[in-house]
A and B are shown apart, each in its own frame.
Chain A
């Protein structure tokens, strides 16, 4: 009896030691998964910020004589399409640009009496960044303030 109880004590001790090790392994693996999730979030926010900077400096959207960027040209914005921008910058995002002093969606019919441009389909579940930009109105030579919004689909 005494021998048996010693044996059981021993077996129980070994069992607890192994359980502690298993719990430690699960904990480390779980920490890795959480860390990967936060890295994924960081990568997505970095991509959104990159798209914002890329648009603000793109020669396809900006006025030529402003190499420092962020001077969008309204005729270029009206001419370029979502498909064109997808070919240049990939997929999984949308962009909106709004002239704060003018309204109306811009297209070939409404130009130049318009102030909103939308590129690609907007989705509710997106990570969105926005920055103020300048918009050069080509037909009048005026410079207006605008807000560029870039959303990355989550």
Chain B
């Protein structure tokens, strides 16, 4: 027969045990969650460190993101959004396409007196160019796009290019250097009649990004219509919606290809912001050099350089990168500034 005291001990013991177990389970549950979030944030911080290293050194590298879909919810430049935190990649301009294995590269866009550096971090990517015009401008556009994509010869993760659908045939597998130096050279010399791909859905399922270049309207997910050597329009079709984006240089096309409108807006704003900084600094530098006796032989060219930089500065103040006239004018000034700088460089003042 259990005494009252023994019964009391049992009941109190059970209550206390349940209480202790509940507290312990809640605490360890939160601790595990913290550990899981910590692991995700730690992965993203390591990714940021890898991006910083590539940005400062220019040496590309591979990076593995374990459980990429859970770790990175999405990338809204310049922020990587994880389930528990947001990590900013500022001040490095970065186009990041998440994947289990990604390759990080620095792309340099140079116009003589200024260099814009951008990071492209992409997983295995397959790009198939479909030029539907034998106009030379199509091949120049293809060359320009390939030039500003990562060169993955020394990384495990690959960006590969291909060309042409002759109804169902296509030629694929080159990395950047071979594609530019061998394939495009060949097609620039030999003009061939080209036909659209009939197996588009198959190619899409296999993960190919089709880039169609044409003079006319075409029903394609990603269509480029060049207007001149430098500018044109990219048409992106998603379902029933078709949107047009003006491009002024190949970086705009690459941004659209990798991340659509979000990347395009981000890259344009960052490009124009850094161009503004470069213009102001270069005007001051040229003025400083004008006053130096040793730079006397370059005074005339420096004065022309300052003049065109001031034109660029004024243009940037009311620039709309979606307006064709603004973009044409800016490109003309940039080309002129590049030519003048080349002369300054040849005179030994660059």
Contacts and interface: CB of A to CB of B under 8 A. Distances in A.
Contacts of A78: 284-285, 288
B292 A112 contact: yes
Contacts of A125: none
- A-side interface mostly: helix
Contacts of A75: 285, 288-289
Given A21-B24, A53-B56, A84-B281, A14 B350 contact: no
Contact of B31 (A28, A67, A90): A28
B282 interface: yes
A84 B102 CA distance: 32
A10 B282 contact: no
B277 interface: yes
Interface string B245-280: 000000000000000000000000000011011101
Nearest to B27: A25
B32 interface: no
B198 interface: no
Task: With a 10 A CB-CB cut-off, give which of A7, A46, A59 has the most chain B CB atoms.
Answer: A59
Interface in A82-119: 84, 87-90, 108, 111-112
B117 A79 contact: no
Interface stretch (B4-12, B66-74, B127-135): B4-12
Identify whether the interface residues of B are mostly helix, strand, loop, or mixed: helix
A79 B281 contact: yes
A114 B29 CA distance: 62
Interface residues of A, number: 41
19 contacts: A3-B5, A6-B5, A21-B20, A32-B34, A50-B56, A53-B52, A53-B57, A54-B55, A54-B56, A60-B281, A79-B282, A80-B281, A81-B284, A88-B91, A89-B91, A90-B90, A108-B288, A138-B289, A139-B292
Interface of B: 5, 8-9, 12, 16, 20, 23-24, 27, 31, 34, 45, 49, 52, 55-58, 90-91, 114-115, 117, 273-274, 276-278, 280-282, 284-285, 287-289, 291-292, 294-295, 350
Interface of A: 3, 6-7, 10-11, 14, 17-18, 21, 25, 28, 32, 43, 46, 50, 53-54, 56-57, 59-60, 64, 67, 69, 75-76, 78-81, 84, 87-90, 108, 111-112, 138-140
